[in-house]
Amino acid sequence: MPGQANPETLSVARNNGGNGAESYLRGWRLAIMTASLTLGIFLIALDTTVIGVAVPKITTDFKDLNDIAWFGSGYLLTVTAFQPLFGTFYKFFNPKVVYMTAIIIFEVGSVLCAASPNAPVFILGRAIAGFGAAGIYQGALGIIGYTVVLEKRPMYFGIVVSAFAISACIGPILGGALTEHASWRNLPLGVIVFFLVAIFLQLKVSNEEHSSLPLKEKWKYMDIIGSVIFVGSICCILLALQWGGQTLPWNSSKIIGLLIGFILLALAFAFVQWKRGEFACIPLRVAGQRTVAMAACMLFFNGMALTVLTYYIPIYFQSVRGDSPTTSGVRFIAFIIPQMVSLIAAGAVATKWGYYAPYIVAGTIICTIGCGLLTTIGINTRTAIWATFEAIIGVGFGGALQLPYTALAVVLSESDLPTGNAIAVFSSQLGGALGVGIGQTLLLTHLVQSIPRIAPSISPEAVINAGAANLLSLTTDPQILYNLRVTWAGAVRVVFLFVVVASALSVLFSFGIERLNVHVVSQQRKEIASAERGQESATTQDAMFAVDGIGDNEHGKKTETLGGGTLSLKKLQSEHVDEMKMSNADSRTFSPFDIGI
């Protein structure tokens, strides 16, 4: 039957951590939980979109464009590196305590950003905020998996993740208005949301057995060494991307050392994960499952494309078209509203019909087409044209953004789902962090090479130091100003071409996600669970009959021992083991060539 899972996938039904039907929420409790998680996602997404619009003005205030990549990458570095660690926290500690702690950490980082006197302090604040955001996003996905039945998860994933799109509608306008008429230092706005989440979030401990372990036992599962090594490896590659070709030549000893350090630390991280086995922050058993591996790769490139566009579309409007921060925020809505509508619609359709893989593939294809069209915009592009291109991209991202998490919920057990979600978010955020660094390298390289040819009277350093939103301070000559905007348009176009490549690669990996049906798999799991309950009942009855037989023999009565039930049960168990062994021959473990439909 189409959409059915193989026996290996169905075997997760017996390992779902004791999450029976009674643990799922319904009615008003589910509504309160969903609203609470949506508020939390809205909190981190609002901050991200507000900061994105304010970046050009921030670079102008700090008089430093060289650190623009770290405004995004400093945040994405920590939100990426600590995703798996927070997945472990949610598995072994009270989810509400972890969730609220993450919000507090996020707010501390946001306040530090608001008070920062220079770029390094601002970057530190963004890094702290990213650490808190890792727990907020990971918590939302994990809690949905624990509290919502499998058949309805696509819709609820869509509702929660749609907070990104909602905040993206409000964030650019709010950030632009504050930046233009007040100050970007007023941007942290999450205190009210914190209290709302504290009041309305209603959660129980996800796993009583894990939560009751002594702290010393829990600490064994915290892969601190792996997380530290990973942070070091990402710092090396981001520094290499930021400095290479700008402040240092690519063949300099520092850049080569950073690249070698990245490779060595990445290998060390892989070794630590293999050595720790089930105690690793990314267990190879889970990461090697076909859908998990393909979804992670797809989300890596999808996140790379989305993050780069989030940062560089506002830069296009402010540097190329000379728009104010408020206006650039309004123009960004053409991208966000279609994304929000598509995101909720895809979740609803997947919930209704059960299939999700076709919408993931279609979404990545549409997104790639839109990104390709976006490379054609320039300094005089009409509003209807660029708005249409943004809308196409938004529809594509909406279709592909949250359904991979539904795919993970179908192929993983409840106990493995937090780890799977952590790997998926980890991959998406890692792609974003690297994408922003690569985008900056491409942008600045083009500016350094083009400015001497188009505007020889102005040095590239002056343009870079002026920032993206302050070109008017460099010259009063209309022709030179026009030439500078043309140069910026060419630089942004190079970044958009990079986005096209990233989006096209996400299409390739989307074909590797297993084409299962949520409703069919859910029904199969229920049937297996019912059969196992029947087997347990038969085992209990056989034990009672055996005791009765022993008692009868002791009294010298001639009775016939009823062992048939036990024999039948053993036969069923033997057949199931044989079936599982046969299914291993058709393993779903990822290989580089296993990307067929």
Which pLDDT belongs to residue 115? 80
What is the percent of the chain where pLDDT is above 70?
Answer: 70
Mean pLDDT, range 311-317, rounded to an integer: 86
End-to-end CA distance of the chain: 16
Which pLDDT belongs to residue 280? 79
Mean pLDDT, range 397-410, rounded to an integer: 86
What is the percent of the chain where pLDDT is above 90?
Answer: 15
pLDDT > 70? residue 267: yes
Measured distance CA(378)–CA(369) in Å, rounded: 18
CB neighbour list of residue 31: distance below 8 Å, 6 or more residues apart: none
CATH for 10-223+281-503 is: 1.20.1250.20
DSSP labels for 382-416? -HHHHHHHHHHHHHHHHHHSSHHHHHHHHHS-TTT
Classify 92 as helix, strand or coil: helix
At 193, the amino acid letter reads V
Classify 57 as helix, strand or coil: helix
φ, ψ at 92 (rounded to 5°): -115, -10
- Closest Cα to residue 427, out of 220, 227, 287? 287
Torsion of CA 427, 432, 434, 440, to 10 degrees: 170
pLDDT > 80? residue 567: no
φ, ψ at 548 (rounded to 5°): -60, -40
Are 275 and 392 in contact by the 8 Å Cβ rule? The answer is: no
Q: How confident is the model at residue 371 (pLDDT cuts 50, 70, 90)?
A: very high
Q: How confident is the model at residue 387 (pLDDT cuts 50, 70, 90)?
A: very high
Which pLDDT belongs to residue 573? 44
Which pLDDT belongs to residue 533? 66
320-350 per-residue burial string, b: 16 or more CB within 10 A, e: under 16? bbebbbbbbbbbbbbbbbbbbbbbbebbebb
Q: Write the secondary structure of 172-229 as one string of H (helix), E (strand) and C (coil).
A: HHHHHHHHHHCCHHHCCCCHHHHHHHHHHCCCCCCCHHHHCCCHHHHHCCCCHHHHHH
pLDDT > 70? residue 544: no
pLDDT > 70? residue 245: no
Which pLDDT belongs to residue 88? 77
Mean pLDDT, range 143-155, rounded to an integer: 76
Q: How confident is the model at residue 586 (pLDDT cuts 50, 70, 90)?
A: very low
Which of 278-292, 296-310, 388-402, 527-541 shows the lowest per-residue confidence on average (mean pLDDT)? Answer: 527-541
Which pLDDT belongs to residue 28? 74
Residue bearing the bigger pLDDT, 405 or 66: 405
Mean pLDDT, range 15-24, rounded to an integer: 49
Which pLDDT belongs to residue 542? 60
pLDDT digits (tens, 9 = 90+) for 438-460: 888 888 888 888 888 888 888 88
Residue bearing the bigger pLDDT, 385 or 575: 385
- The residues with which 248 forms a beta bridge, in sequence order, are 244
Per the prediction, the chain carries an average pLDDT of 76
How far is the CA of 73 from the CAs of 70, 384, 430, in angstroms?
5, 32, 9
In the DSSP assignment, the letter for residue 244 is B
Q: What's the distance, CA 159 to chain centroid?
A: 15
pTM: 0.75
Mean pLDDT, range 214-227, rounded to an integer: 75
Classify 74 as helix, strand or coil: helix
Measured distance CA(204)–CA(96) in Å, rounded: 8
